[in-house]
Every structure is written in C-alpha cells, then in structure tokens.
Amino acid sequence: MGTYLARRAVHSFVSLAGLLILVFFLARLTGDPTNLYLPLDATLEARQEFAERHGFNDPVIVQFGRFLSGLAEFDLGTSIRKHRPAADVVLEAIPVTLGLAAVTMIVALLGAIVVGSLAAYRPGRIFDRLASVISLASASAPDFWVAITAILLFAVTLGWLPTSGTGGFAIEYWIMPIGVLLIRPFGLMVQVVRGSMLTALSSAYVKTARAKGVTERAVIFVHALRNGMLPVITVASDQAAGIANGAVIVETIFGWPGVGKLMIDSILYRDFAVIQASILITAAVIFTINIVVDIAYAVLDPRIRHH
C-alpha cells in the first residue's frame, strides 16, 4: 500500500516535470512580449533594455536553467505585467478558484449520489428515466451558453442576481457561478453513480445480504453504496481537471479573479512567469487531489490496501 502510493507520487512528479518543460518552451514560442509592454515608438535601446531586464535576450535554454535554479529557491519569477513575484499573484488567485471548485464538487457529488442511487434502485421506472434524461441534458450543456443565458434571465430580465463580480463574496454573487460550474460534473456523476450502483445492486453479495434478511435501506446504503462509490471516486478525481476547465469559462464570464481568468490574461499578455507559476501550482493541486483520492480509495477498498 505504501509502495503503491509512493509509486503514484513518483508518477505524478514525473508528469509534473514533463508538463512544466512542455509549458516553458511552448510559452516561449508564443512570441516576444516586448511589443506588448512598450509603446510602438519605443527606441531600440529601450527595447533592448526591456529584454535585457527580463532576460529575453538569452538563449531559451539559459532562460530555462535560470527558471530551474529559481524554482529550487521557490522563486517562480516576476510578473512583467504586475511587477510582483509571480507566485504571489497566483497564490492570491488560488483560493478563489479552490473555493469555487470545492463548493461545486461537494454539491455535485452529494446531489449525484442521492439522485443516482435512487435512479439505480428501480431502473426503468419514471424517476430513473427522468433522472437519466435530465442528467444527460445537464452533462450536454455548454457551460458558457448556460452562463450567459442565466445572466440574461436572472440578472438582466429578472434582476434577482448580480451580473458579475464577486461583491466581496456575498452569497448572491456565488449562486450563478456555482450553478453554472455545477451543471456538467453533476450530470456526469449522476450517470456514473447510477451505473455503478446498478452494478453493485445486481451483484452477488447484495443477493447474499438480501438472503440474510437485511432491510432494503441497508442493502442500498450499507452493502451497495460503499462498493458503488469506488468508480465514482475515480471519476470525481478526473473531474478535478474538468472543473478547472469550467473555472476558466466561469471566471472569465463572471469576472472572478481566480486562476482561470489569471491564466487567460497572462497568456494574452505573454506574462511567462505567471503562466508557468499558475500551471505549476494548479497541476500540483490537481496531483495532490489525485493522491488524496488514491488514499480514499484504499480506505474504502481493502483489496487495494492489501495489494
């Protein structure tokens, strides 16, 4: 078990390193940021000075070396847009996205477990068919479209909710972003819960439990659910990346200062240090989630624990 986790951690680290190298060189290929930051009529000397100051004149490989040695001291470089350490810029944005993602995930997961389990209990009945179609529709909805439709309806037409911004994170500012972000993970996970609960409920051990005289409620929530949760956990962890995708869209549309918006802006402004820092930190968060999920899996499934 310890070995298994250690191996997973090594895999994650290798993946992280690969991703970082990829992003570093890709970002450098997106073009020279000098023109973006200096006026069009800037003198050649000014341009030289700018490039010199930010180290853009050195060969890419030298820049990479500098990046790595900085990394060793937890220095992720300086944002050329905000003139502050890139790590600070990213760490300010992380809690916003994390909060958004965590609330979304919890609501989506709990909702999916309840709806999916009930649907799986009597497959083919009206509740199941409704749950299936609604969850499929929700998994099929383009989030950006849902977002602007929601703004049109709830903010513009009805005036119930604010159109955008965080408003000091007051509750009414959370409703639409989370509602939009929720919609696809929820739909997907209802499908997964329903499928895995269907398998669990038709399994041989459930038959044994029924033959013992276990009540139907205990059959679902004690015998089947813990087994049915196993695939759901895996999918939920895969959804971590999916929610980050959604966060890019939601943060852009609702003007939330999270990592998603930060990254889009940084790419637009060729703010390399911030791109690198945000990708590094986001990936680290996602890998951490994956390892936590692995541990959760092992706790729930003794077969993994003893392997």
Partner 1 sequence: MGAERNTAAVPTAAPRSGARVVLGLLWSDKFAFVAALFLIFVVSCAVFGPLLLGGTATSMNLRLRNFPPFTLDHGWLFVLGADSLGRSMLARLMVASQNTIAVAAAAVAFAMTVGGVLGLMAGFLGGWFGNIVMRLADIIMSFPSLLIAVVVLYMFEPRVANLVLVLGITRMPIYMRTSRAEVLEIRERPFVAAARVMGASSFRVVFRHVAPTVLPTLTTIAALDFAFVMLAESALSFLGIGIQPPEITWGLMVAQGRNYLNVAWWLAFFPGLAIMLTTLSLNLLSSWLRIAADPTQRWRLEIPRGRDG
Partner 2 sequence: MAERAAPILEVRDLAVAFHTLAGELDAVDGISFDLHRGETLAILGESGSGKSVTAAAIMGILDSPPGFVRGGQALLDGVDLLALSEGRRRDLLGERIAIIFQDTLAHLNPVYSVGWQIAECFRIHRGVGRAEAYERAVDLMRQTHIPDPERRARDYPHQFSGGQRQRIMIAMALALEPDILIADEPTTALDVTVQAQILDLLIELRNARNMGLILITHDLGVVAEIADRLAVMFHGRIVESGSVGEVFADPQHAYTRRLMSAIPGRAPPPLRVATKVVGAAPLLEVRDLAKHYEVTSGLMRRRTGDVVKAVDGVSFDIQRGETLGVVGESGSGKTTLAKMLLLLEPPTSGSARFGGEDLFTLKGPDLLHLRRRMQVVFQDPFSSLNPRMSVAEIIAEPWSIHDGVVPKAERADRVVELLDRVGLAAEHARRYPHQFSGGQRQRIAIARALALAPDLVICDEAVSALDVSIQAQILDLLKSLRDELGLAYIFIAHDLAVVRELADRVAVMKTGKIVELGTTAQIFDRPAHPYTQALLGASPLPDPELMAERRQRRGIGIQMVKNG
Binding site for partner 1 (CB under 8 A): 11-12, 14-15, 18-19, 22-23, 26-27, 29-30, 122-125, 128-129, 132-133, 136-137, 139-146, 148-149, 151-152, 156, 191, 238, 241-242, 244-245, 248-249, 252, 260, 263-264, 267-268, 275, 279, 282-283, 286-287, 290
d(CA 128, CA 241): 28
d(CA 238, CA 242): 7
Q: How far is the CB of 12 from partner 1 (least distance, A)?
A: 8
Q: How far is the CB of 212 from partner 1 (least distance, A)?
A: 19
Here the contacts of 125-128 (C-beta below 8 Å, separation 24 or greater) are 128/194
Q: How far is the CB of 234 from partner 2 (least distance, A)?
A: 15
Match 């049915």 to its residue by tokens: 228
Q: How far is the CB of 131 from partner 1 (least distance, A)?
A: 12
d(CA 278, CA 260): 9
Number of helices and strands (H, E) in the chain?
14, 0
Asked if residue 259 lies in contact with residue 93, where contact means CB atoms within 8 angstroms, the answer is yes
Nearest to 216, CA basis, from 300, 112, 118 = 118
DSSP letter at 213? T
Closest to partner 1 by CB, 73 vs 224, is: 224
Closest to partner 2 by CB, 149 vs 208, is: 208
**Residue 275 contacts which entry, partner 1, partner 2, none (Cβ below 5-8 A, type-dependent):** partner 1
**Residue 175 contacts which entry, partner 2, partner 1, none (Cβ below 5-8 A, type-dependent):** none
Identify the three-state secondary structure at position 176.
helix
Closest to partner 1 by CB, 63 vs 191, is: 191
d(CA 21, CA 70): 14
Q: How far is the CB of 180 from partner 1 (least distance, A)?
A: 12
Closest to partner 2 by CB, 123 vs 162, is: 123
Query: Which spans of this chain sit near partner 2 (rule: CB under 8 A)?
Result: 3, 6-7, 10, 202-205, 207-216, 218, 223, 226-227, 300-303, 306
DSSP string, 44-62: HHHHHHHHHHHTTTS-HHH
**Residue 306 contacts which entry, partner 2, partner 1, none (Cβ below 5-8 A, type-dependent):** partner 2
**Length of the chain measured in residues:** 307
Q: How far is the CB of 81 from partner 2 (least distance, A)?
A: 42
d(CA 240, CA 258): 15
What tokens appear for 16 in the block? 């992280």
Closest to partner 1 by CB, 33 vs 228, is: 33
Closest to partner 2 by CB, 23 vs 300, is: 300
- The strand pairing partners of 78, in sequence order, are 85
Q: How far is the CB of 160 from partner 1 (least distance, A)?
A: 16
